[in-house]
């Protein structure tokens, strides 16, 4: 029974492939249209797109062009070719702004930019573009069914930018460029005041300031110790029960001891 089912399935597949090849080579535009539509409906994106590539120019200016243009863009999207998909979805919304598919096209275009956003450790040009595209979609379609997903994607992309900025500042601390680290953490805290990494940033800023103060020459030490103690107080004001409390208190004690020794001398 299983063998018979397999043979039947294989036969159907062969017929389907044969029909596709015939349609691909045919001069009959209507036949290509029908086959492309059938393949699209069953998720055969690559085959459908090959036919659409052939016939789309033939339908420019005709009623069928709207449907075919969306299908063509969506095939690229479903195949994971997001750069091309976003480009074609953008063209679709420009040409057919009143289409019932315009909202979906706009969202998928923006989501295509989201998929092209790299990991946080790399250049984030595409991430910024994706946020801008998604925000434009939210502003254009404030009541869209895609709104919750769009907002979730923006939040995820925002965090990626936060993580990028945070890790740059932390890296300066690791390579002992403490002044650059403090400056970067200050910029981070100003740019991302509601970040989930705020507590971490406040602590690592303190850490960099502590190290800078302890290693400073006498002429700069007192001022830098006081700056570091100010960063300690900022951490404790924001997070009285900080997960870094024990480490922060140790640094505070070291700073106060250093300040006391420095003052006596």
d(CA 214, CA 221): 7
pLDDT, tens digit, 9 for 90 and up, residues 100-147: 999 999 999 999 999 999 988 888 999 999 999 999 999 999 999 999
- How many distinct helices (H) and strands (E) make up the chain? 12, 0
pLDDT, tens digit, 9 for 90 and up, residues 6-41: 543 444 444 366 777 777 676 778 888 898 999 999
62: left (phi over 0), alpha (psi -120 to 50) or beta: beta
The contacts of residue 114 (CB under 8 Å, 6+ apart) are 130, 134, 153, 157
The contacts of residue 166 (CB under 8 Å, 6+ apart) are 188, 195, 197, 200, 201
Provide the whole-model pTM: 0.81
DSSP state of 27: S
| CA 108 to chain centroid | 14
Nearest residue to 167 via CA among 209, 215, 128, 124: 124
> pLDDT category, 264, cuts 50, 70, 90?
low
Q: Is 115 exposed, middle or buried (0-12, 13-18, 19+ CB in 10 A)?
A: middle
* pLDDT of 54: 93
């Amino acid at each position: 029974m299983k063998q018979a089912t397999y043979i039947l399935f294989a036969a159907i597949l062969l017929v389907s492939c044969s029909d596709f090849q015939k349609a691909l080579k045919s001069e009959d535009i209507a036949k290509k249209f029908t086959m492309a539509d059938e393949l699209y409906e069953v998720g055969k994106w690559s085959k459908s797109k090959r036919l659409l590539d052939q016939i789309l120019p033939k339908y420019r200016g005709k009623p069928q062009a709207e449907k075919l243009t969306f299908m063509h863009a969506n095939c690229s999207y479903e195949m994971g070719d997001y750069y091309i998909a976003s480009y074609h979805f953008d063209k679709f919304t420009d040409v057919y702004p009143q289409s019932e598919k315009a909202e979906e096209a706009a969202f998928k275009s923006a989501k295509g930019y989201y998929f092209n956003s790299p990991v946080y450790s790399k250049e984030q040009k595409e991430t910024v573009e994706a946020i801008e595209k998604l925000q434009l979609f939210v502003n254009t379609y404030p009541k869209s069914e895609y709104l919750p997903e769009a907002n979730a994607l923006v939040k995820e992309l925002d965090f990626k930018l936060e993580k990028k900025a945070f890790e740059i500042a932390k890296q300066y601390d690791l390579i002992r460029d403490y002044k650059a680290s403090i400056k970067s953490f200050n910029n981070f805290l100003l740019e991302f005041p509601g970040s989930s990494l705020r507590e971490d940033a406040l602590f690592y800023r303190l850490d960099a300031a502590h190290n800078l103060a302890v290693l400073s020459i006498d002429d700069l030490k007192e001022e830098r110790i006081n700056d570091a103690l100010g960063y300690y107080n900022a951490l404790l004001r924001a997070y009285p029960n900080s997960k870094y409390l024990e480490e922060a208190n140790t640094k505070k004690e070291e700073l106060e001891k250093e300040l006391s020794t420095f003052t006596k001398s």
